[in-house]
Amino acid sequence: MLYVKVEIMANWENKEIIFENGEKTVAQAPVIISASRATDIPAFFAKWFQRRFDIGYVKWTNPFNGKPIYVSFENARLIVFWSKNPKPMIEHLDYFDKKEVNYYFQYTLNDYEIERFEAGVPSKKERIETFKELSSRLGKDRVVWRFDPLLITRDLSPDVLLKRLKILGDELVKYTNKLVFSFADIGSYRKVQNNLREIPYIEFNEAIMLYMGEQIGKMAKEWGIDVGTCSEKIDLNKFGIVHNKCIDDELIARNFSDDVKLMDFLGLEIDIFGQITHKKNIKDKGQREDCGCVIAKDIGQYNTCVHKCVYCYANTSKETAFKNYQKYRLNPNCEGILV
C-alpha cells in the first residue's frame, strides 16, 4: 500500500485511515468536532457531513499554509454545530443519535432583515420556527441562542437593535437557557472592513458596550436565562454577563455526563449532587485570547458560506464564497468541503 504524507497536529491522538484505492495516511482523531466556526455546515453541507461521518474521516485544508490534514471520526464523542439555519441538519439527527454521538447547537438568530445584512438566510419567521422545532426535540440547554454580532450603523442605533433583540428574546425564552452575543469587531479584520465598505457602520466604544450590556443584562434577568459574551475583553459581570465558553465543558457535563470517554477527556468529575470538579485545563489555545472554549477540531473551510453576511470574517468576498460553494455542489462526494 502507498502512504500519503500530510501535516499532523499534535493536539489529538493519531489514527491510521485507509482510502478506497488502498493508500494509507495518518489522521488526527479529535474527541470534540466543531462544525463549524468557518462555514455553516448544518445549512449547506449537512448531507455531506453525514456521508463523511459514515465513511469515517474528512479532509481539511489549513488556511494559513494550504497543507491538507485528515481528521478521523473514530474518537469523536461530541459535535458542536454552529449555524444560522440548521433546518437542513434536522433530518440527519436520527443518524447521529443512532451512532450515539453527542451534539448541541450554537444557533445564531439575529434580526437584520430590514438592512439585509444577512441576505442569504431564511426569513426571521422561518428561523424562529426552526429554533423552536430544534429546541423541542433536543431540549432548551442544547440550543444556545446567539445574537452575534451586534452591529450598529448611522441608521441602526443601539436602542433600535436592543428593541429587536428584546422582541426575539420574548419569542425564544421558552426554548433556550442562554443568550450569547458579541460586539462587531470591524477594525481587527481586514476582510470585515472590505465587506462593510459600503455600510455606514459605527465602531463600538466602551460607553456603548457598557450601555448595551446593561440593557441586555436586564432583559436576560427578566427572561430568567443566562447571558454571556463571545470572545470579548470588556468585563460586563456587574450586569450578570459572563465571559462565555461556546464549546462549554459545563454544558457538556450537564447534558452528557454518562459519556465516560467524553468526561474523561474533559477531566471532569460530577458528584451525586451534580457538582462539577475540573481536574485539568483544556482551554483551546488555538482560539483568540478572550475565547473561553475548550479544545475542539474545527472542520470547516473559509470562503464557502453563502449566507451573504456583510460583517463576515470567514469570506474574502461573496463571489469567492459562491464560486467555492458551487464547486462543492457539483462534486458533493469530495473528501473536504473545498475541492
Give the 3-state secondary structure of 16-79.
EEECCCCCEEEEEECCEEEECCCCCHHHHCHHHHHHHHHHCEEEEECCCCCCEEEEECCCCCEE
Answer yes or no: is 1 within a domain: no
Q: What is the pLDDT of residue 90?
A: 98
Q: Which amino acid is at 40?
A: D
The residues near 137 (Cβ < 8 Å, ≥ 6 apart) are: 90, 93
* Residue 273 C-alpha from the chain's centroid: 31
Q: What is the pLDDT of residue 270?
A: 80
Distance CA 255, CA 252 (A): 5
Residue ranges of the chain whose pLDDT lies below 70: 1-10
Distance CA 49, CA 53 (A): 6
For residue 123, say if its preceding peptide bond is cis, omega within 30 degrees of 0.
no
Torsion of CA 242, 82, 221, 253, to 10 degrees: -70
Answer yes or no: is 7 within a domain: no
Q: Do the Cβ atoms of 202 and 184 come closer than 8 Å?
A: no
Q: What is the pLDDT of residue 195?
A: 77
Q: Which domain holds residue 111?
A: 13-330
Q: What is the pLDDT of residue 188?
A: 74
Closest CA to 36 of 58, 21, 14: 58
Answer yes or no: is 254 within a domain: yes
Q: What is the pLDDT of residue 2?
A: 42
**In the chain, % of residues over pLDDT 90:** 82
Answer yes or no: is 295 within a domain: yes
Number of domains composing the chain: 1
Closest CA to 138 of 179, 74, 181, 89: 89
- The single residue listed with the C-alpha cell 465516560 is 260
Helix (H) or strand (E) holding 253: helix 249-256
Judge residue 237's burial from the number of C-beta atoms within 10 Å of its C-beta, 0-12 exposed, 13-18 middle, 19 or more buried: exposed
Answer yes or no: is 156 within a domain: yes
Q: What is the pLDDT of residue 229?
A: 98
Answer yes or no: is 336 within a domain: no
E strand residue ranges, 88-128: 102-108
Question: 211: phi > 0 → left, psi -120 to 50 → alpha, else beta; which?
Answer: alpha
Q: What is the pLDDT of residue 3?
A: 44
Answer yes or no: is 2 within a domain: no
E strand residue ranges, the chain: 13-18, 24-29, 32-35, 57-61, 68-72, 78-83, 102-108, 143-150, 152-153, 178-183, 201-202, 226-229, 242-243, 268-270, 276-278, 297-298
* Exposure letters 122-151 (e unless 16+ CB within 10 A, then b): bebeebbebbbebbeebebebbbbbbbbbb
Answer yes or no: is 8 within a domain: no
Closest CA to 302 of 323, 283, 333, 330: 323
